[in-house]
Structure 1
């Protein structure tokens, strides 16, 4: 097995570093996971707490602590920025690529150094679409991939027969030193994303070990027989034979043998030694709340039911796999055919093929069974897929295993079509969404199409050995343009973040409230907690919460999201009848979503009237204290007023055909009264007349029943005379 030259290793290092570090901090953190994780690390560092993760002041039970530790160390070393938030993920991606280079080299027969197969496996993994996405994101996926890959690599390499020849195809009980290292790495994977960091890698390694042992038995039983029986023309016979082989390979006592050989029980204890101390500490600090939320809700819950709308169909993950390994998946059929040929011709690549098949199959099958489905869940198996991709491209480059001419032409043609399609889609999207800078990212499609054209040209000139290098460079350029410069171009149109920054700079405050929704990036970039109120349920509790916020923080700002939420005017104040006018400070469209985002603040005093419960002098007002409240407003201030009972369940605000309607005090206004025509002066007249007419009936009732009002329980909602300026509709305005 030839080793990789220094020139090629330098090229690989350049490609990998470019893919993961060019413009790594160019775009702001993307909603929703990136700002959540980054802000959680900031809050932990701010408190000096390395145990309990929180976001927006609340316990964050979504993920364990490993990413937060990496980000906290990055912040301490390099300062807090988008680059340092993503830096741990990029480092883990580099670690994964290096691990696959070494693992591919050992499986292909080299005991030291990096083989050509290892070089191509590393290059392919470093330019897979979803792997690049994970390596450039401030999420725990890259940490999970790195340490689960390291764990698998240590256990696999430690199970290969060390006697010459190194690649004899035999597997032996795992040696202790690599076993300890491997299980320690899996412990870190558990700290990255929970039990999935141990269970699935263990399933991969055990399946690989058992399949390899079965192949050795078959080699001894039938000399020269195709172990995988892929050359049998009778498919019924093939299926029967496959089931029989699976039973012989994975019988219960064989599984127990593998558990013993791979030192799984001591390994489980080693994993616990690494991961359990933090889980114990966070459980104690949170009285078990984190453990309950993480294990029951975010592990068991996601497995048995679809969460957050993330469901999918049976072929969801096979299709996600093809997209995630793009552009290498364009050669999917030739690679499958190569695997068939390689499994028949030698034992050297067979171990690699078995490991790759086990790796991909375990992850796809396991997550296909789970109810919650996300494409990122199977990203760890791309490392296994890269092994056979590397073996295939090594033989493609040398000319040993060229696919048929028709398959090569098909791959080049698909590359051109997809490249042109991506180019066109990005151009159309940039025009439709009014994002002209996004058009720069269309270059990635042009690069892809150019590689396909070069392939056709070299096919015509019979220079197919040039295709692999061009494909690798084209794949790297595609990822850099898409995730580096493309993401940065899109980020310039996130006007909501710019609006928040401008308002906060002009009127600084630490007190924010959001109605109708909240993006985690707002919390991160404002640097303050945001109180979130559900604006879609206009219950009294919603009004009271907003009122308390504005009462406690007169400099507070209210973020209003969406069309429905923009109709809410929260102006209650406990114990008083008070006019609290909100002024629109800024508004913009939501990023890549329908509706608007607006920011409101309390209007400065400009003659607005605070109405208190002064003792009235007139007899009608003696019977109805609401009249006294209205009389406190000068007659010249001719604007509608609606009186509301704050604590009563009858106090509800509803949306009817796009307008806001409210329940009016039945004791205050006659049923036939037209609330639109009532000014404060006319309202007093109507209230006094109605109060006189109903006095006899009211005397027969208790005081509480008659008035249904009490001091401290009357508030009012003022119809905005500045409705056009503020953006809030007048609640009394007719349709």
Structure 2
């Protein structure tokens, strides 16, 4: 038994490390988010200040510091580069998968642990964000560790990881674990469990972990920190839509369907079975469902919606899928053709979307064709093995296909589209042309990447009106803008500019 457990552990770890680390630093940072989370720790090191986050030399209060600290440490070890900027996400993604393996094995058996862990590792949104320099994986790990600690009644760890989540992304680090546990206790009618949760000493531990940085920031920056971080980045974003195109209530439905692909094909039947079992004699399954539903419901109610927000619901969903497929192997009657039927629908929709994308970006052609072959073979394998009642074979077919899909994504698709989504190339052109003295104007969307790759802060332009005004001013100046913004300029403004370089639908201009 020990050898089986060890072999399963190493198998899950090997597959996960391959997915998360393959070609991790081979693609430039993609605008606008990745450069933000790379530039800020770079400036922390430059200013020798690990307390107050900065960008463009100015204090800013968008996120707490944990991810910045992790990236700053990676920069010290590996230099300032794409690999180091993404290393914390990839590493913590592996830790989170192995945590799901451990907990799933403990709750539901070794087979369920393996299935749940690999379902998480091979879901599209999870491994994409694991390979990105953003905070979402870090938050997901700490929330997952906190909530699983509650299930295991390791209450001090529950508070510890809630504190770390609060240091990663703010008040939701406490709100989410607290609300999910409260709802669960309400549903099962066990509020007396609160007496065992070490509320006073646990809260003290949470405060010791989470509060010092907030207190120091308040002492250093006063109301500006509170108003910007708590007021705008938390309360205002929840109550007011920052991106009107994503404000619709159903926004996260397609995000979940695509983000948890290919396991969305079996997600519905897994949830249905787990709810039936959870109401009877397995409260852990009920807890996992409440956990996932709360994350989805909370962000559905939020006015500001981003694709990455629902990532913390994927670990409990993966554990539910792991439990379901784990027991299907013991009872073949539970295997339903709804799995390959749903997978067929999802693959057709995904392929249709990809081939539509090729019409506007022909450079995607080779990568899309490779993915199409992989997904069609995966679909055929699932149909064949489910029809033969070989659930394990169908599962491993999906895992193998998604490992190959990840490799195709980072070797063919992402490199093909990267020039359109990074400022690195135009930044190189700028460094070759810049005289070192004249003012530099950069459109907001391009600003983080431009600064990261040039070490020049520049002057941020937020709109076409600001661009027009900057061009009208006297004196020599450089401009880094998108082609669409250049084309929208009047003929008079364009004649005042000389195009020095263009790359990925971005242009470098100079005005003499």
Q: How does the TM-score come out when normalised to structure 1?
A: 0.64
Shift of 1:134: 2.1
- Residue 449 of structure 1, aligned match among 376, 387, 390: 376
CA distance in 2, matches of 1:302, 1:192: 17
CA distance in 1, matches of 2:219, 2:420: 44
**In the alignment, structure 1 residue 585 sits paired with structure 2 residue 500:** yes
Partner of residue 40, structure 2: 40
Residues 285-684 of structure 1 correspond to what in structure 2 (within 5 A)?
Answer: 285-309=220-244, 311-339=246-274, 342-343=277-278, 347=281, 350-399=282-331, 402-404=334-336, 408=337, 410-416=338-344, 418-419=346-347, 422-423=350-351, 425-435=353-363, 438-459=365-386, 461=388, 463-483=390-410, 485-493=412-420, 497-507=424-434, 509=436, 512-514=439-441, 517-519=444-446, 520-534=448-462, 536-537=464-465, 542=470, 546-547=473-474, 550=475, 556-561=477-482, 562-563=485-486, 566-567=489-490, 582-588=497-503, 590=505, 597-602=507-512
Secondary structure of 1:435's counterpart equals helix
Partner of residue 641, structure 1: none
Secondary structure of 1:586's counterpart equals strand
| Closer, same or farther: CA 89–96 of 1 in aligned 2, 3 Å | same
| Closer, same or farther: CA 310–583 of 1 in aligned 2, 3 Å | closer
Matched-pair contact (CA < 8 Å) for 1:96–1:149: yes
Structure 1 residues 491-528: Cα deviation after superposition (integer angstroms, max 9, x where no partner): 24558542331231244536552265541212221221
Q: Pairwise CA RMSD of aligned residues?
A: 3.0
Structure 1 residues 2-29: Cα deviation after superposition (integer angstroms, max 9, x where no partner): 9944433332122101111111112111
Structure 1 residues 397-442: Cα deviation after superposition (integer angstroms, max 9, x where no partner): 33355233xxx2x432443454455446435533532425x52243
Matched-pair contact (CA < 8 Å) for 2:335–2:389: no
Partner of residue 12, structure 1: 12
Matched-pair contact (CA < 8 Å) for 2:423–2:449: no
CA distance in 1, matches of 2:213, 2:32: 25
Secondary structure of 2:464's counterpart equals coil
Partner of residue 63, structure 1: 63
Secondary structure of 2:507's counterpart equals strand
| Closer, same or farther: CA 121–76 of 1 in aligned 2, 3 Å | same
CA distance in 1, matches of 2:263, 2:209: 36
CA distance in 2, matches of 1:81, 1:311: 32
Matched-pair contact (CA < 8 Å) for 2:278–2:284: no
Partner of residue 77, structure 1: 77
Matched-pair contact (CA < 8 Å) for 1:335–1:392: yes
| Closer, same or farther: CA 316–565 of 1 in aligned 2, 3 Å | closer
| Closer, same or farther: CA 510–385 of 1 in aligned 2, 3 Å | farther
CA distance in 2, matches of 1:186, 1:531: 38
Partner of residue 205, structure 2: 270
**In the alignment, structure 1 residue 132 sits paired with structure 2 residue 60:** no
Secondary structure of 2:479's counterpart equals strand
Shift of 1:462: 5.2
CA distance in 1, matches of 2:414, 2:271: 34
Shift of 1:53: 0.8
Shift of 1:395: 1.6
Matched-pair contact (CA < 8 Å) for 2:267–2:317: no
CA distance in 2, matches of 1:119, 1:516: 46
Matched-pair contact (CA < 8 Å) for 1:423–1:443: no
Secondary structure of 1:64's counterpart equals coil
Matched-pair contact (CA < 8 Å) for 1:41–1:53: yes
Shift of 1:299: 0.4
Matched-pair contact (CA < 8 Å) for 2:29–2:422: no
Residues 162-173 of structure 1 correspond to what in structure 2 (within 5 A)?
Answer: none
CA distance in 2, matches of 1:62, 1:522: 19
Matched-pair contact (CA < 8 Å) for 2:478–2:508: no
Mind listing any 5+ residue stretches in structure 2 that lack a counterpart? none
| Closer, same or farther: CA 120–403 of 1 in aligned 2, 3 Å | same
| Closer, same or farther: CA 539–334 of 1 in aligned 2, 3 Å | closer
Larger radius of gyration: 1
Shift of 1:341: 5.2
Count of residues in Structure 1 that have an aligned counterpart in Structure 2? 509
Partner of residue 205, structure 1: 181
Q: How does the TM-score come out when normalised to structure 2?
A: 0.90
Structure 1 residues 55-109: Cα deviation after superposition (integer angstroms, max 9, x where no partner): 122222211101000000000011111111010011111111111122222322x
Matched-pair contact (CA < 8 Å) for 1:259–1:265: no
Q: Which has the higher contact order (CA 8 A, sep 6+)?
A: 2
| Closer, same or farther: CA 80–589 of 1 in aligned 2, 3 Å | closer
| Closer, same or farther: CA 202–530 of 1 in aligned 2, 3 Å | same
